[in-house]
Structure 1
């Protein structure tokens, strides 16, 4: 049998196309031995054919590759491998009429799970293909990859040949969705010797009519007379006449959900209620914060959702107890009911009492259900499938509670490595219950979350998760694979609108070189596990895949960090560019008597006497026991413990000493002696201001070059190496949180990988504007009025009256009018509508900002609506919706208004 490859493609000089695939004649996936295609200038088509022995592979897989001799590029086409069945019994010739699948096309993202598993899911059994007449010798197989077809519709093909209906819409050929998102039908043309014209359409099976016929020129099937030939028309995208698909969603952490059956905190089954509300309001997506287990201390500190003790395990706070089994003990049932009433009455998540209650009843349920649970075939399968992370997690959690700390470096020697994991977690071991309870908890958490996500998919709603960029240093991951992390370093973020001294998350940084050795297996496993629950994903601080803000272990704040990886400056380059180099002046804290007075006022002398010494020539040096911020933190912590009445004074003193330690202009590189990084925001330091007039502009230019020019190509290559392994590990729709100090190369890399960017109106990516305009956001992006790290729209409105006035005039268009003192419901509505009408694929709103459109429904105090305050490292994550979702579902008029607004923006319609 002859297999002919054809592909229309206009190349430039030095470019050529090859086919690489599973057959020996296609190189068996070795690109060096791929099949060369030949160019036919008359048709602009590349083509080549091979002979396929009848007994060879039943299915041939292949892909097209563009080879560019100019830059040495080897550009594989986008998408999964193509496949063709060996049809030797039916045909003597197969002609593959393919189209190049270009990367970075917006339509590619419609092939992600968000669309194929939720928004456009195929709910019923596949539509069968129409049978061919037995005598058919010239067959055309129409094959179109088109995920954007509503669940209630099908694809059809209509054309000029009688077999295609002769343009009679009632006789259109219905395509099968058995291989959705690829649609397929085989047709024996009546007049194969004539060129036929055709188009695809969207078919409504209930109305038995075409809803939309695609736009653009007719597609063509050129005349041919070969007998026993199959022509596979693998066409390019469906040409929608209605523009890009756009949707709207709502964001709310699971812990913030309030339902009548909850236990003082949102639980996984409550997601079903939020999905119901999304359906009622025309919203297509529900976004949550990270849901992994953060139980390290059994205190309110564990409320921070970005410090997980396992990147796989789920947080026990989200477990609904009744969904496991009813408590058999009457007194326990009454106690649970009373606690539910007490905890649900609170207007915030009271984390410690909530978790104490959860653990108390989880332990009772475990003992009550233990025998049945351990014998459950579903549980046994869950344990087998998830054992790689589940068994170490159960052991870690049991040991954490046994030794009262998650810091495994403080455990007895024999437990500081996971060597005894298998022995500890054996079901027949005498201490099994210590670990078995965590198998029990994770099994039911997994079950309840998957049920909620499946419910969302059935209702056409996407559940979007959140991937924290870092890992917690006292975690299962650090315990089992410490070689993957730089445990002596800390990850964070440079100064931004959230924090003027930067953010120190205290997570270890990644050992990317080690991770690369096995093809980033850890990342692929992590992404694969998230895909178990989510069809879309927000990658927190995606800039970390290009470079992370790495802070030395001796720092508390983030100013003394530097980007890693980076290209630090050698001493001779600094000397050459600013004219001199003096380590003491540039790299040690700049402390002079007037600086001390400015910082500590009347207590300057006392502070000097206790913490400092004369360094000569007017310079002052910190004493050895307070030369780092961690040392200062420890000293002041001890003072506060001994003299708690003066805590405020010691806090003020600590802040002043931190500020002095930050007074440097260059940070020495910890890997390369003699190399230095300019300190971030050095132009704001006293040390910079007191340089001479010649040095300041030279240093300013060096600084700008270092942060905005020197690393662009270097960081672009970093992203292109690390991100693909994460991006293509699953079929989730990926969105990157790309806020802050963004290298110019980042948007291009994200676009090339089909990763959606984030546009927050108050944090524009364009530094020349004060506010972002949703109307100019690119299609592959998410627009939102805010995030969990910001005040809500109502809270922000009251923070800076002058800024609010400028926003009111410039962004909302109320020129010359006085902005209202408070964010009135009509103002909140204008901001919402502005985002809904953006060209961006998604407009996602914090639920608080949607409720802001209703005076009766919104919370009285807007400041109580903020989820996180990044500038406060001891922030308590306690926000909880002030009304039950059941009650919100009953607000028919409000829900209808939202749905009407969403509909008017075009974000409900599929086409």
Structure 2
């Protein structure tokens, strides 16, 4: 069989086009060079075996052996080779850039919201064939596309005689027509029509399409890709709930939410006509086996699922009746707790899993399903299992102390993978647990899709520096810095997450394979995801390893400033003064008051005049932290925090990579050194500061993000959402718009700095609207935090007179929720606590107990749980009907077709 591809595309001198055939996994399998004809049409011919049923491919532009750009690869071109009498395919393609409605091609819409069955094209027996190919992403679930036109072969404009098309790929429809059936040669007019699942007929908008009927010889099929079909169907807007899996509660839970509970929560979401269920990260965070592992954003593996989420009800019962009874009694005790007892729950579940593994593990691990799981996940699963074994037997995750195993050895894989070896038997338990978790989570995912619910996951920006990922593939990480975030509304000292920063150049050099594997693994369980701290793909806040807080960080990468550039603003650059902590006597007196002399005597060295310096044993935040370990009196904390403030009191931070470059210290205007400047120098520093943080790096950071994010967002068909809060440079919006990534919109944190509260009506459609995130106070907590701010909101956004009521009454919470639902955002996803705020009988009596996380506290215990069972929530018909009414009134209901 011969195929001739044609593509009209204007290139510039030095550029050539290539056709790239992809395999079933979407990876490039073969590349063909193309030639240009006189009319700027690029052509390529290939011969294929008659056993080939279809070809998936995309086009790219090459310059000097390097790919300059390529088409949108999430949905590639597909050519069905189904012609019984066809020996030559003449294909006319269109270049496909990422479309504005790319979200409609995501699995969130194609597999959950607008589910339709795809089918392969039936064999075509025409001697001369015309194939029409068109994309129609607007169509809802159950719709059927057809083509109708003036020619008898197209039904002569009679809809019932229209030619039905086949959806052979996501949102792409095809129809094979017999060229001999057309009455006349030349040009014919036609349109696309669609029937809804209710039997309504929709006609394509705009003027009739015109098609020049091709000339063809016997044995030829002419394939024409056409412009996208458009119908008068308005954009879908969906409602949803955010709750961590660990926070779920059912009558059968084991003290923590699990993957079985996730199905029950899907039931409630579907029952209330919501379409999205968002969760926090579900990866394994077990490093110390203590409650400090409760932080879900510090995974030890980007692939492994957390054992705490196993649904023990789906496992065989414990054969030992006495032990089974003990476990059931413990389950009831733990499940009755108002919050999670992380350590007891995980110890009990691990014990339970080891019992079942001893009972059933050997038989399970001989099954075809398990072997398939091992084969598909071997790359990460084998190192992870050995890591867990070494962690548990050696009692530490500090792999620098694992003699002989300070780093993963690829040579160990064979023995760890061979069921006949002792090494395999040592780690088999971890294989088994991950298999069980994978199976349960995948089943929950399939269950959600069947109910039309989009499961939305979360991809943390960082990983645990002592985790398996760093141990397994250290080339991707920089351990000489800590990732975090600059100061913001959540934390005045910035956030130090302790994660290693990424070696982005190494990742980019191998096509970001580490990230692609990560995203593709997520796609097994989710149809949408939130990119945690998307700003980290532009630049990360890198903090020296000697720091506890984030004030001495700098953006990496970033364009540091030379001495000459700084002086170009008129500021005389005194390097030693501006980069060394400024500790004057008046500063010490102000910070430490009656303890000033004690601090001078104990922690400071006199330099000259009234200037001091921290003694060498206290000259970094880590040294200060160590000196005050186990000192918890109010005075000790006062002095410790004061010393932290002194250590970070600089005007410029030296670049970590180039000692001749400098960065203005973040929020330096709050420093004592800044206070000591002349007013004229303050004005000059402010210009440097504003130029550096808001203008200087914009194009640089744009280019950095575009080296990474396009590859990642096209690696799967999950709907891409991003958390774009914080110190957001202009280039973030450029990239997110270009890649069609959904932004996060919070009315109380508007992106326009001139506004106190955002205007919901101005939310972009391509966005996620919410009242509060897991890092923020819930609606009820926020309402009582700042009475003046609440009063402003009450008057300016709710348009109500008089004093705002406190605490927040249910009727007013309902009005606030209704406003959020009515905004233009594609998704409105609210915390479960905020949904419950509308019902004073249902919601938790203590609003203070609703908080999930407090970012300013690095040692926060993540233990929030629902205070009622999901079974009781499902049975609460009046409350569920209230939510349905709110969603229906906002136009986000299920039957919005």
- The two structures have a TM-score, normalised by structure 2, of 0.92
Distance 1:529 1:50, change over 3 A: closer
Match of 2:96 in 1: 101
SS in 1 for 2:761: helix
Q: CA deviation at 1:830?
A: 2.4
Instruction: Give the SS at the match of 1:758.
Output: strand
- Residue pair 1:308, 1:471 contacting (<8 A) in 2 also: yes
Q: Specify which of 459, 469, 482 is matched with residue 477 of structure 1.
A: 469
Deviations 1:426-461 (A, max 9, x none): 544457554222112111011110010011111111
The structural deviation recorded for 1:675 is 1.7
**Structure-2 change in CA distance of 1:301 and 1:421 (3 Å):** farther
**Match 2:829 to one of 844, 856, 868:** 844
- Contact 2:34/2:44 (CA < 8 Å) preserved in 1? no
SS at match of 1:322: helix
Q: 1-side partners of 2:817 and 2:657: how far apart?
A: 49
Q: CA RMSD in A?
A: 3.0
Q: Does 1:324 align with 2:339?
A: no
Q: Secondary structure at the match of 2:583?
A: coil
Q: Where does residue 160 of structure 1 map in the other structure?
A: 150
Cα gap change, 1:841/1:582 in structure 2, threshold over 3 Å: closer, same or farther? same
How do residues 511-660 of structure 1 correspond to structure 2 at under 5 angstroms?
511-637=503-629, 639-640=630-631, 646-660=632-646
SS of corresponding position for 1:349:
coil
Residues 1:893 and 1:240: Cα distance change in structure 2 (over 3 Å):
farther
Query: SS where residue 526 of structure 1 aligns?
Result: helix
Larger CA deviation: 275-284 vs 427-436: 427-436
Take 1:665 and 1:592, find their aligned partners in 2: how far apart are those partners?
15
In the TM superposition, what is the alpha-carbon distance from 1:6 to its structure 2 partner? Answer: 6.8
Which of 719, 727, 735 aligns to 1:749? It is 735
Q: Which residue of 2 aligns with 1:176?
A: 166
Contact 1:280 1:896 in 2 (8 A): no
- SS of 2:365's equivalent in the other structure is helix
Q: 1:708 aligns with which of 690, 694, 697?
A: 694
Asked if 1:399 is matched to 2:384, the reply is no
- For residues 140-159 of structure 1, what are the structure 2 equivalents within 5 Å? 140-159=130-149
> 1:34 aligned to 2:34?
yes
Query: What CA distance in whole angstroms lies between the structure 1 residues aligned with 2:810 and 2:840?
Result: 6
- 2:857 paired with 1:872: yes
1:348 matched to 2:343: no
Deviates more, 1:60-69 or 1:445-454: 60-69
CA distance in 1, matches of 2:386, 2:679: 62
Distance 1:856 1:866 in 2: 19
SS of the aligned residue for 2:173 comes to: strand
Using the alignment, how far apart are the partners of 1:77 and 1:360 within structure 2? 48
User: Secondary structure, in 3 states, of the residue corresponding to 2:313?
Assistant: coil
Is the 8 Å Cα contact of residues 68 and 74 (structure 1) preserved in structure 2? no
Indicate the larger mover: 745-754 or 417-426. Answer: 417-426
CA separation in 2, counterparts of 1:514 and 1:7?
Answer: 35
Q: Which range moved further: 767-776 or 346-355?
A: 767-776
Aligned to 2:324: 333
With 712-721 and 155-164 compared, the bigger mean Cα shift is at 155-164
1:492 aligns with 2:477: no
8 A contact 2:383–2:408 mirrored in 1: no
Distance in 2 (CA, whole Å) between partners of 1:218 and 1:518 is 48
Tell me the secondary structure at the aligned position of residue 597 of structure 1: helix
Report the equivalent of 1:232: 223
Question: In structure 2, how many angstroms separate the alpha carbons of the residues matched to 1:85 and 1:264?
Answer: 52
Contact 2:4 2:46 survives alignment (8 Å): no
Structure 1 residues 701, 896: closer, same or farther in 2, change over 3 A? same
TM-score of the pair, normalised by structure 1: 0.91
Q: Does 1:357 align with 2:348?
A: yes
Task: State which of 860, 867, 887 in structure 2 corresponds to 1:902.
Answer: 887
In structure 2, what is the Cα distance between the partners aligned to 1:7 and 1:579?
57
1:198 and 1:683, CA in 2 relative to 1: closer, same or farther beyond 3 A? same
Deviation readout 1:615-639 (Å, 9 max, x if unpaired) = 11210111110000000000000x5
Question: In 2 relative to 1, CA 824–197 (structure 1 residues): closer, same or farther, beyond 3 Å?
Answer: farther
**For structure 1, which segment, 776-785 or 696-705, has the greater mean C-alpha deviation from structure 2 after superposition?**
776-785
Greater CA drift, 181-190 or 259-268 = 181-190
Match of residue 668 from structure 2: 682
Q: Quickly say closer, same or farther: Cα 1:730–1:7, change in 2 above 3 A.
A: same
Q: 1:690 offset after TM fit, Å?
A: 1.2
1:117 to 108, 111, 114: 111
CA distance in 2, matches of 1:78, 1:436: 38
1:834 Cα deviation after fit: 2.2
Show CA shifts across 1:331-378 (max 9, x none). Answer: 112112211211111111111111121122122212222332332332
Where does structure 2 lack aligned partners over 5 or more consecutive residues?
22-27
Q: Deviation per CA, 1:21-74, whole angstroms, max 9, x where unpaired?
A: 269xxx99879x5332555xxxxxx657777779899666664568999xx975
Candidates 476, 499, 511, aligned match of 1:507:
499
Distance 1:128 1:546, change over 3 A: closer
Please name the residue that 2:79 is paired with. 84
The 3 A distance-change label for structure 1 pair 84 and 424 is closer
Alpha-carbon displacement from aligned partner over 1:554-578 (angstroms, at most 9, x marks no partner): 0000000000011111223323434
Report if aligned partners of 1:17, 1:37 keep a CA contact under 8 Å in 2. no
Q: CA deviation at 1:258?
A: 0.6
> Could you say what secondary structure the match of 2:558 adopts?
coil
CA distance in 1, matches of 2:69, 2:249: 52
Write the distance in 1 (CA, Å) between the matches of 2:572 and 2:239: 56
Contact conserved, 1:2 with 1:49, CA < 8 A, in 2?
Answer: no
Change (3 A) 1:464 1:60: closer
Secondary structure of 2:573 counterpart: coil
How many residues are matched? 883
Question: Per-residue CA shift, 1:393-449, capped at 9, x if unaligned?
Answer: 111111111111111122334555446465467544457554222112111011110
Residues 713-766 of structure 1: CA deviation (Å, up to 9, x unaligned): 111110011212222222221111111111111111122222221112222221
State the 1:248 CA deviation: 1.8
Partner SS, residue 144 of structure 1: strand
Equivalent in the alignment of 1:376: 367
Deviation, 1:180, is 4.0
Q: Which residue of 2 aligns with 1:826?
A: 811
In the alignment, is residue 448 of structure 1 matched against residue 440 of structure 2?
A: yes
Distance in structure 1 (CA, Å) of the matches to 2:30 and 2:38: 20
* Alignment partner, residue 282 of structure 1: 273
**Which structure 1 residue ranges, 5 or more long, are not aligned?**
40-45, 641-645
Cα shift at 1:325:
0.9
Alpha-carbon spacing, 1:905–1:158, altered in 2? closer, same or farther (3 Å): farther
1:113-164 Cα offsets, whole Å, 9 max, x none, are 22222222335xx5676786x6x56543232223444443322223332333
CA contact (8 A) 2:415 2:424 kept: no
- Are 2:679 and 1:693 aligned? yes
User: 2-side partners of 1:183 and 1:383: how far apart?
Assistant: 37
Indicate how the Cα distance of structure 1 residues 225 and 372 shifts in structure 2: closer, same or farther if over 3 A, else same: closer
Question: Offset at 1:910?
Answer: 5.3
Q: Report 1:882-897 matches (<5 A).
A: 882-897=867-882
The equivalent position to 2:454 in structure 1, one of 435, 458, 462, is 462
Q: Is the 8 A contact 1:492 1:505 kept in 2?
A: yes
Between the aligned partners of 1:128 and 1:657, the Cα distance in structure 2 is 70
Over 3 Å counting, the alpha-carbon distance change for 1:655 and 1:904 in structure 2 is: same
